[in-house]
Amino acid sequence: MRKFSLSCLVSVIPFFLSGCAADTDISGYQKPMRELNRTESYEQVRARFVVYDPIEGTNRSVYKFNAKFDKYVFIPIVDAYDFVIPDYVDRRFANFFSNLGEFQNATNSALQAKPDKTATAVGRFAINSTVGLLGLYDPASSMGLSQHKEDFGQTLGYWGVEPGAYLVLPILGPSNVRDTVGMAVDMLAFSVIVPDKISDEAAYKIVQYGLKPIHTRANNSFRYHTTGSPFEYEIVRSVTSEGRRLAVEN
Amino acid sequence: MHIARSITQGIKFSPAIVLMAGLLIGCTGTPPPSAQSFVRAEPVYDYPVDNAYAATIIGTPAEMKIRYERGKEPVERKLVVFPDRKIPEGFWYYDALNYGEMLQKQPAPLVYIIGGTGSGYKSRYTMALAKALFESGHHVVLLPSPTHSNFIVTASGNFFPGRGDTDARDLYRVINLIHDGLQRRIEITTTGLTGYSLGGWHAAFVSHLDAQEQHIGFDKVLLINPPLSLYSSIQRLDAMLYADLPGGIEDLGVFLNRAITRISHMGQETDALDFSNENFFFDTYQRLKPSNESMATTIGLTFRVAAANMIFTSDVMSKSGYIYPKDKPYLSTTSLNDYLAVSIGTGLTDYFQDIYKDHYLAAQPNLTADALIAQSSLAILQNWIAGNDRIGLLTNRDDIILASGELQMLERLFAGKAYIFPTGGHLGNVEHPAFAQRVTDFFEGRR
């Protein structure tokens, strides 16, 4: 009987040892061998990659949804689009949408008090809409007027609005609070200037809400989970946030 | 690295490049005026970058890059290696091993290509090699490296990649399964094996294993820019990361901020930072003239990110509790910020000392750490390589992953079986026509 209780006690000791505070983190999991606070250097590396992301759990769920949507819906459509639409036609679409985007570039350049960039956008629109056959061709670029993209998120950033929390939007993907508001404002402004006669046309709806997203996805080479990194969420978050920071600066 | 990948995938051909390529194809591809005058045109080796670090980063400048007429892409295939394996929800996107296939319609020789450290089947170099071989009439199968997370999760036997004979077993299991399936679908005349960098090193161990097991019988095996000793190359690459980080890993943020600022200023000068420019790296190099130290750190960082991916995946799958708590569920909603930071701060040398070594020493009682390091050298296959005329080596005199004296040791090991380009750094010249020609000639038995 005594022997039993002794061996029982001995077998229980390591259990207590491994269960004591020094070996578990605040959430109750066993501490790994290498951990964040062992040296300060990890904190610095962490600070370089980490973006303000208070609703990370939700964002990660949306990221997973987007990856699945991409795989089962978007990419099959894009592949069919690539197969059916010749590159030449795709480039015409690219120019057409890009020409319509000059409205957004012009207004936002003006809102950022950048007269030369506003003039460029207006000039490009004038040339490409006429000589460029309603924007299907881009003679303005050949004439030395290269495009400078601006949106309302950049305008807000220019006037000092911080990006705010990182957001993963359903289907649309990585963004932040500031740029999400910016995108909504840009879309609203665009819908206001397009005459109802045009925006009510079925052809317009097909182009704007069907063709444009497919074309945009087809021209973005990113494919979910092909990076081979278990940290893909963090890398996409860091790279897109950095990209927007630079876009605001330029 | 990932930005680099998306840039290279998103490349667009400028008219000038298309014209140049057209001229190049026109030079070598026009039918000869008479059968007698037909001499196989030997591409001139005019690779222009003589700085080994720059060559490693830039690769082959666009106007020199080999272009392929058929432009075929590999078909993605999936292979379930361990049907009973439980995969954590955090890796939900890995339901099987992903590999690529480019098959001829007629009977043809087949070549398996193994990717380098941390690369999937569709890397810049597996693609370059696959296109060269496919265009010259081979069936091609593209395989990820056993150090790629998809391979570790779905096809690794013990989740501790990096050991020659163990990785060879994993790869051989995969190759056998694919091979058996292929033989039912296509006619294979002969079978070859190649790989670049760590994949070249793996190719030697796989073919050595095949010589014992004799399931496939590789007719030709080509090692491209392999390390001589994996342990030595790991130490070199770990050290390279710190070349321009005087204060250690905590300087990484400063280094990256400086690089981003310099590159974005370059964009402001030209009014547009054109990432779709196929010569982005070459142009950046010529304009910014980065120091050797900066370039070494850039290469070291690329390697470090690949190592971080590998070490973290291996840790989660083996439940070792090295970086990720061993009892914590791994889910797609789990925040990884801290683990990313620690993984980036962990080199492969740390991984070897802290966990890999103990795992293998525990599994094999009379093994020592020194013996484990010695086993990471191709020199342990010395006798087998010497007596084997089907194996070959293709590398560069200035390959940065080799320590001083290691190239000479490789030359001795592969006496009479090696071809060494004078420049190119580590894999920088793989997309050069003269390099591709060497690869296809090797598999067609012309050299």
Q: How many Å apart are CA A79 and CA B267, to the nearest integer? A: 32
DSSP assigned state of B248: G
Of residues A41, A233, A235, nearest to B345 (C-beta) = A41
Question: Encoding tokens for residue B28?
Answer: 């070598």
Of residues B327, B335, B350, nearest to A29 (C-beta) = B327
Q: How many Å apart are CA B229 and CA B210, to the nearest integer? A: 21
Using 50, 70 and 90 to split pLDDT, how confident is the model at B30? very low
A and B: number of Cβ contacts within 8 A: 142
* Distance between B365 CA and the closest CA of chain A, angstroms: 23
B249 against A2, higher pLDDT: B249
Could you tell me whether strands B97-102 and B75-79 are parallel, antiparallel, or unpaired per DSSP bridges?
A: antiparallel
Question: Encoding tokens for residue A66?
Answer: 């987007």
Confidence check: pLDDT of B417 > 80: yes
Residue matched to tokens 């525990």 = B362
Which chain B residues have a beta carbon less than 8 Å from that of A63? Answer: 332
Q: Determine whether B128 is exposed, middle or buried from the number of CB atoms within 10 Å of its CB (0-12, 13-18, 19+).
A: buried
Q: How many Å apart are CA A249 and CA B193, to the nearest integer? A: 50
Q: How many Å apart are CA B128 and CA B142, to the nearest integer? A: 11
Q: Determine whether B190 is exposed, middle or buried from the number of CB atoms within 10 Å of its CB (0-12, 13-18, 19+).
A: middle
Confidence check: pLDDT of B11 > 80: no
Q: How many Å apart are CA B88 and CA B70, to the nearest integer? A: 40
Q: How many Å apart are CA A175 and CA A28, to the nearest integer? A: 33
* Distance between A201 CA and the closest CA of chain B, angstroms: 34
Task: Please say whether the beta carbons of B410 and B378 come within 8 A.
Answer: yes
Q: Mean pLDDT for chain B?
A: 88
Whether the CB of A11 is below 8 Å from some CB of chain B: the reply is: no
3-state class of B434 per DSSP? helix
Whether the CA torsion A98, A100, A102, A107 is positive or negative: it is: negative
Judge: A32–B321 Cβ closer than 8 Å, yes or no.
yes
Any residues with CB less than 8 A from the CB of A13 and at least 6 apart, and which? none
The stretch B258-270 carries a mean pLDDT of 74
Least confident of A186-190, B81-85, B313-317, B392-396: A186-190
Number of Cβ within a 10 Å radius of residue B247: 12
Task: Please say whether the beta carbons of B390 and B221 come within 8 A.
Answer: yes
Q: Which of residues 209-228 of A touch B (CB under 8 A)?
A: 220-222, 224-228
Using 50, 70 and 90 to split pLDDT, how confident is the model at B289? confident
* Distance between B36 CA and the closest CA of chain A, angstroms: 41
DSSP assigned state of B123: -
The stretch B92-107 carries a mean pLDDT of 96
Express as a percent the part of chain A with pLDDT over 90.
Answer: 38
Q: Which of A41, A58, A124 to mutate to test the interface with B (most CBs of B within 10 A)?
A: A41
Which ipTM was obtained for this model? 0.84
DSSP assigned state of B77: E
* Model pTM above 0.90: no
Task: Please say whether the beta carbons of A181 and A156 come within 8 A.
Answer: yes
Whether the CB of B120 is below 8 Å from some CB of chain A: the reply is: yes
Task: Please say whether the beta carbons of B142 and B99 come within 8 A.
Answer: yes
DSSP assigned state of A85: S
Q: Which of residues 141-180 of A touch B (CB under 8 A)?
A: 146-148
Q: How many Å apart are CA B341 and CA B6, to the nearest integer? A: 23
* Distance between B415 CA and the closest CA of chain A, angstroms: 37
Task: Please say whether the beta carbons of A116 and A151 come within 8 A.
Answer: no
Q: How many Å apart are CA B104 and CA A238, to the nearest integer? A: 42
Question: Encoding tokens for residue B368?
Answer: 């020592």
* Distance between B103 CA and the closest CA of chain A, angstroms: 20
Whether the CB of B255 is below 8 Å from some CB of chain A: the reply is: no
Query: Which of A184-193, A212-221, B114-123 is the most confident on average?
Result: B114-123
DSSP assigned state of A211: I
Confidence check: pLDDT of B9 > 60: no
Question: Encoding tokens for residue A141?
Answer: 């670029």
Of residues B321, B333, B344, nearest to A45 (C-beta) = B344
Q: How many Å apart are CA A152 and CA B205, to the nearest integer? A: 57
Whether the CB of A72 is below 8 Å from some CB of chain B: the reply is: no
Judge: B341–A46 Cβ closer than 8 Å, yes or no.
yes
Which chain B residues have a beta carbon less than 8 Å from that of A221? Answer: 6, 9-10
Q: How many Å apart are CA B19 and CA B370, to the nearest integer? A: 55
Task: Name the residue among A149, A67, A58, A146 with its Cα closest to residue A103.
Answer: A149
Q: Which of B269, B335, B346 to mutate to test the interface with A (most CBs of A within 10 A)?
A: B335
* Distance between A221 CA and the closest CA of chain B, angstroms: 6
Cα angle vertex B297, ends B268, B309, to 5°?
100
Q: Which of residues 14-53 of B touch A (CB under 8 A)?
A: none
Judge: A45–B149 Cβ closer than 8 Å, yes or no.
no
Cα angle vertex B218, ends B215, B219, to 5°?
140
Of residues A30, A47, A221, nearest to B327 (C-beta) = A30
Which chain B residues have a beta carbon less than 8 Å from that of A249? Answer: 264
Pure H helices in chain A: 2-19, 40-49, 56-69, 75-84, 87-100, 102-111, 115-130, 139-142, 152-158, 177-193, 196-199, 202-205, 212-218, 232-249
Confidence check: pLDDT of B32 > 90: no
Which chain A residues have a beta carbon less than 8 Å from that of B120? Answer: 226, 228
